[in-house]
Amino acid sequence: MVVDVSLHDVRHALVELGRLRFGEMKVEDAIREIVHTTHSMFHVDGAGLMLADADHHLRSVAASDARLTHLEELQIEHQEGPCIDAFETKQLVGVEDLADDHRWPLFSDAAVARQVRAVLASPIPYNQYAVGVVAVLSEQSRPWSPEGELALLAFTDLAALLIASMMMGEEQTELSTQLQTALNSRQIIEQAKGVLIGTRGISARAAYEQLRAQARAERRKLAAICADVVENASRPAASEGEASAG
């Protein structure tokens, strides 16, 4: 039987976690505390927090179950999945049963084989970008209630506050360095997407998939591919400017 999340559970958990906003706990430890509380409150088989790296891959920072590692590996391998969609669209993404969901065919088959059936993923905001996701998973099919979605959004906002505090702090940690590198990479990726959208008339998602496909085909970093796209797009304008000046 699936035990759902109640608003009372949400309120109690947030009160308990509220001390993290004002405490002296390290951000890494606070994130692990959020994941542990999320896991226990949702009565799920796993909970975790993933942050983007420089290659735009979601890497697990804290996890309560080994199946979160499966999510990381499979989504990187197949370049699709609910966490990636949440990260890219900056919207909450839920799936009740991967066996019956056809949005991510390659990922879903592999995830079900590793005992992952239901996933709920919430993007972590930082400025105008998403920098990661908080996710919960179940080894059985499971509907996600509005209360459960609200709870995950609230936990995500708390994680976002901690991350923002870390990024604005003076102390440089491995985690903050990873995030800053990812943010720098994200800027050039967004610029390259804009170039393809403008020149080819395609959607943002299609532009991103084309950039990913080129990076895989050429076995190069995504950021390097995007930098080339942006540089090449600026050359004609530069040449025209020089011609006009002459």
Per residue in 164-198, pLDDT (tens digit) is 887 877 667 788 888 888 888 888 988 999 999 99
> Tens digit of pLDDT for each residue in 17-42?
666 665 666 778 888 888 888 887 77
CB 133 within 8 Å of CB 124: yes
| Pair (31, 139) in one structural domain | yes
> Tens digit of pLDDT for each residue in 69-92?
888 999 988 889 999 999 988 999
Confidence at residue 208, expressed as pLDDT on a 0 to 100 scale:
86
| Pair (183, 155) in one structural domain | no
Confidence at residue 101, expressed as pLDDT on a 0 to 100 scale:
94
Distance, in Å, from the CA atom of 56 to the CA atom of 241, rounded to the nearest integer, reads 34
Distance, in Å, from the CA atom of 33 to the CA atom of 167, rounded to the nearest integer, reads 19
Q: Is 47 helix (H, G, I), strand (E, B) or coil?
A: strand
| Pair (150, 200) in one structural domain | no
pTM: 0.80
Task: Examine residue 1 and state whether it is found in any structural domain, yes or no.
Answer: no
Task: Examine residue 2 and state whether it is found in any structural domain, yes or no.
Answer: no
CATH number of the domain bearing residue 83: 3.30.450.40
Confidence at residue 180, expressed as pLDDT on a 0 to 100 scale:
86
CATH number of the domain bearing residue 187: 1.10.10.10
Q: DSSP per residue over 167-184, as a string?
A: HHSS---HHHHHHHHHHH
Task: Examine residue 19 and state whether it is found in any structural domain, yes or no.
Answer: yes
Percentage of the chain lying above the pLDDT 70 cut: 85
The one-letter amino acid code at 94 reads: G
Task: Examine residue 145 and state whether it is found in any structural domain, yes or no.
Answer: yes
Domain end, chosen from 111, 145, 168, is at: 168
Task: Examine residue 243 and state whether it is found in any structural domain, yes or no.
Answer: no
Secondary structure of 99-138 in the HEC alphabet? HHCCCCHHHHHHHHHCCCCEEEEEEEEECCEEEEEEEEEE
| Pair (134, 214) in one structural domain | no
Q: Which residue did the predictor score with more confidence, 169 or 57?
A: 57
Closest by Cα among 215, 222, 151 to 185: 222
The one-letter amino acid code at 185 reads: S
- DSSP 8-state secondary structure symbol assigned to residue 20: G
Q: Is the pLDDT of residue 2 over 70?
A: no
Q: Is the pLDDT of residue 3 over 80?
A: no
| Pair (164, 179) in one structural domain | no
Query: Could you tell me the residue range of the domain that residue 204 belongs to?
Result: 174-237
Number of domains in the chain: 2
* Distance spanning both ends of the chain, measured CA to CA: 77
Ranges 85-99, 117-131, 228-242: which has the least confidence = 228-242
Question: What are the two backbone dihedrals, phi and then psi, of residue 126, each rounded to the nearest 5 degrees?
Answer: -150, 115
| Pair (146, 214) in one structural domain | no
Express the helix, strand and coil content of the chain in percent, nearest 5 each. Answer: 60, 15, 25
- Structure-block tokens of residue 85: 């969609």
Mean pLDDT on 150-176 = 82
